[in-house]
Amino acid sequence: MTFASDAFTNTDGTVLSTHDANWVKSTGWGTPSDIEIRSNAATCKVISGDPGVWVYSSASSADYEVSAVVKQLGTSTSYNAGVLARFSSTQATGYMARYRYNTGVQLFVFNNSTTATQLGSTVAGNLSNGGTMTLKLVCNGNQISVYKDGSLIIGPITNSVVSAANRPGIWNFGLSSDGCSLDNWDATYLSAPSSSIASISNFYRMMRSA
């Protein structure tokens, strides 16, 4: 069940929080860069020293996947973009899968620190300018995995540092003319949360007794 999604369709220059009030900066990063919409995708507006770390509305289950289409805009090796899961809105805590040109795809965990610990090995591979990949981060209990274009490339890796549901989100460090943009972002439960299951069950019983 998809519980959050965004196709980033809006006027160029619209900041995420104006586009959708459910998007907020993760304040554990001090002052993350603004992310704005360009060509109906999410890109950094101006790099203000910190990456654009934005999270969406809270999840009710910790077992979910987050995916987005990553598009390469330029070949700077300093810029990167990706997706977040179980990320806090007030601490630098959670999981991140990211793509960086001339590096590849990587998986990291943050534990109340802007210094990340890499999980597993880097999977090399470059996009061409204008090229895209679908990057997906899956958190299932203490099993953390990363998929590229539907194929498992990292994990499952056992890691229990972050077990709270927290929030799904996006990470972007770059420019609207370089780095990467993100599009067609969504967050989906691996199974329906218990509250949803209960509601469905109650509805079924009500219909049977009607």
User: What CATH number should be reported for the domain holding residue 174?
Assistant: 2.60.120.560
- The model's pLDDT over 101-115, given as tens digits with 9 standing for 90+, comes to 999 999 999 999 988
Q: Average pLDDT for residues 179-193, to the nearest whole number? A: 93
Rounded Cα gap, residues 165 and 64, in angstroms: 9
Percent of the chain with pLDDT over 70: 91
Name residue 204's amino acid. Y
Q: What is the mean pLDDT of the chain?
A: 90
pLDDT of amino acid 150: 97
- What type of residue sits at position 208? R
Pairing of strands 64-72, 151-158: unpaired
Measured between alpha carbons, how far is residue 10 from residues 39, 40, 119 in Å? Answer: 8, 6, 35
Specify the pLDDT at position 209.
39
In which band, very low, low, confident or very high, does the pLDDT at 192 lie, cut at 50, 70 and 90? Answer: confident
CB 64 within 8 A of CB 163: no
Which residue has better confidence, 120 or 50? 120
Identify the domain containing residue 57 by its residue range. 2-209
DSSP annotation of 22 reads T
Mean pLDDT of 144-164: 98
CA distance 14 to 63: 31
**Which two structure tokens, joined as six digits, stand for 103?**
């590096």
What percent of the chain clears pLDDT 90, i.e. is strictly above it? 78
pTM: 0.90
Query: What gap in Å lies between CA 85 and CA 107, rounded to an integer?
Result: 11
203, pLDDT greater than 90: no
The total number of structural domains that make up the chain: 1
What's the confidence (pLDDT) of residue 129?
93
CA distances from 93 to 106, 158, 189 (A): 17, 17, 20
Give the pLDDT band of residue 198 (cuts 50, 70, 90): very low
Whether residue 156 has a cis bond before it, omega within 30° of 0: yes
